[in-house]
Chains A and B, each alone.
Chain A
């Protein structure tokens, strides 16, 4: 009853005092996120899809979903993984994997600043890294990570995108051949190992390759960040389960008061690799490349990597004690401070790069962990943020000397001063925030303006849709001293990390069409004159064109049961936003969608005699509904000649019955 009385009086108060802080926030929040019709958002936000294995693109501040980019999972919308051209992209050393789990986005940087070229994302389950072009918004390359399991601390980058990183979440037995031998699970401490891999990236083309791997003690590597500025040569990784438990980790990996942040000098590693100090390891991993000129992907299995062992190479890896089961491991824009977020810790420790260098020089070690020197906590610590909240996970930066840390257990974002280690503001999130994202937050020059909370629990924030609910993001204004909630927006999949980038760095480079002149697909038809149907044994190739609103050919005869038919459809359009689709009844391989100037192939194995219709699935013009055709399928061994046409008056060949 008391509550019932109190509520109207609060409302009344708010109504009467338009200038109190709460109503002021609500008053202009709508205006701050409203993007008028015909206007564009200020930022692209590139968001991982979590268990859907893809990447999605949102506009900020509106929170509008612009696109889902298929990466590690089949995608019915665009035929990703269904068309003959894209099938190789999902290939791995285990064969095709149709669905993975994508966690973290890393946008390419030059001199530590966003350059708008590529987005990288990790495949968590079957360890992989994908590179996405920010001019086509397509996945151009996927590389499998050998000697790895649970590629979680990935694909974070060095400052000039020299390397993307892959670290094992799950250690597992590795013997001298670096294979996974048949040993007891209980032998974790003796046999299990972890690795971190440095995936080299070509400056011009972006092509990836496994440059080298570092063999490490069996613990769980969780997250990582590259150094910047003075710490450019270093990479930092959070490590948990230093208890080396192999069962009930919830309890058994939460025993120690401190786990580690690992500091790794990758420049030194490079020198050792050059000096031939690495050991060749026989492995097997898939390297898949999509070629924009042939509109086709290839998958090659590669067989060798170079492994460095820090037990022998003493000055490449150091552990720093960090309370307690650290998750986030984030480097501030100056490169001086490294923030560890212990999931179970009551403080946020901030490490100083200057002190780390001094501690290493002074050999200020408290001991060794499995052959790796452990630096003294006090020798490397800048300080601790005391009682910041419960369950710190991740930290981003605004470039004005403040850090913003997400707290899962207490559902809040806490803003604090990096130098003074003082909390200056906190806002609730709804509910249980995981990652958070400030545009440019992990770069040398954050763009600031907003922080976005990616929440793990949505509960009552949206209209319910049964037991499965949408995921939820929240946008806060951070331009003033106090954070202000502006917007809730639903997200697809389960976003983990996201990076936002000013539209001005991406939009001008966006590709509108694929030039038909540059199409080097082996089955392209550059114009209707080149369209044809031909037979190679039991394979029938249909080099087909589509343009508003007809196919060439649209009548095909002479296909027989037992044939495999390949429809290589070239979209002859050269105008923006005029895709054509292609679908044929009974195709076990679904459909395809073809962008202007592109060629895509659908494989169809007819399973019965008769005349079968095909049609365009993308509404293309006023006569879209007329965009259709027929294939006649004759019995095995019949003598129906192979013919094709569009626009010819029918000359009956072979009446029925």
Chain B
């Protein structure tokens, strides 16, 4: 019981400090007339949440080929096509373990996933290397999914 209370108090303190420091930073920022506001977002393919994905069978063979090409340039260094873990987990069975939407966001929006998604956070604890942003467009990510499905035996 004692332990719990202490923890709670500590948590509260952290919360208070967090609020204060944030407010101070905001005040300081308001006072400072010179500097510009934080950078305007730069044109980038990465970082927009994917909200839906459409899967069809049979697989699109041309997408599979394109997906494989992207895999070889941008993914193969860390992911094998078997279930062997290299830097990241092997891809065998990944489309059965994960929702395709989850994979899409992990590939194209890894910052958000590592911040908010418990499963993604668990992977980081296991692998200890942040999954890199490989500057993959949503279109390209969709083609990688097609290649993953092929790898998992879908027709």
A507 touches B39 (CB 8 A): yes
B40 touches A508 (CB 8 A): yes
A512 touches B44 (CB 8 A): yes
C-alpha spacing A127/B130, complex, angstroms: 48
B132 touches A573 (CB 8 A): yes
B129 touches A516 (CB 8 A): no
Q: Mark B72-84, 1 if CB is under 8 A from A, else 0.
A: 1110111000000
Pick the contact of A527 from B29, B33, B72 — CB < 8 Å? B72
Q: Mark B28-61, 1 if CB is under 8 A from A, else 0.
A: 1101111111111010100000000000000000
A196, chain B: closest CB distance, angstroms: 39
B109, chain A: closest CB distance, angstroms: 13
Contacts known (A526-B73, A528-B77); A36 close to B39, Cβ less than 8 A = no
Chain A residues with CB below 8 A from B76, complex form? 527-529
The closest CB in chain A to the CB of B124 belongs to: A622
A32 touches B34 (CB 8 A): yes
Pick the contact of A578 from B86, B87, B132 — CB < 8 Å? B132
B73 touches A61 (CB 8 A): no
Contact residue range for chain A?
Answer: 35 or more
> A504 near B: Cβ within 8 Å?
yes
Chain A residues with CB below 8 A from B20, complex form? none
B87 touches A550 (CB 8 A): yes
Q: Mark B132-150, 1 if CB is under 8 A from A, else 0.
A: 1111100000000000000
Pick the contact of A572 from B40, B73, B133 — CB < 8 Å? B73
A42 touches B35 (CB 8 A): yes
B97, chain A: closest CB distance, angstroms: 23
C-alpha spacing A511/B27, complex, angstroms: 32
> B16 near A: Cβ within 8 Å?
no
> B25 near A: Cβ within 8 Å?
yes
Chain A residues with CB below 8 A from B31, complex form? 31
> B12 near A: Cβ within 8 Å?
no
C-alpha spacing A510/B132, complex, angstroms: 20
B32 touches A31 (CB 8 A): yes
Contacts known (A529-B76, A575-B133); A61 close to B34, Cβ less than 8 A = yes
Of the listed stretches A201-209, A345-353, A541-549, name the one at the interface; the rest are far from the partner chain: A541-549
Residues of chain A having any CB pair with chain B under 8 Å: 31-42, 61-62, 503-504, 507-508, 510, 512-513, 515-517, 526-529, 545, 547-550, 552, 572-576, 578, 621-623, 647
Q: Can you add 19 more A-B contacts, CB < 8 Å, to A36-B29, A40-B35?
A: A31-B31, A33-B34, A34-B32, A38-B25, A39-B36, A39-B37, A39-B38, A42-B34, A61-B34, A504-B36, A527-B74, A548-B78, A550-B87, A552-B77, A574-B136, A575-B135, A621-B129, A622-B128, A647-B86
Residues of chain B having any CB pair with chain A under 8 Å: 25, 28-29, 31-40, 42, 44, 72-74, 76-78, 86-87, 128-130, 132-136
Closest 7 CB pairs of A and B: A574-B135, A575-B133, A527-B73, A527-B72, A547-B77, A574-B134, A35-B35
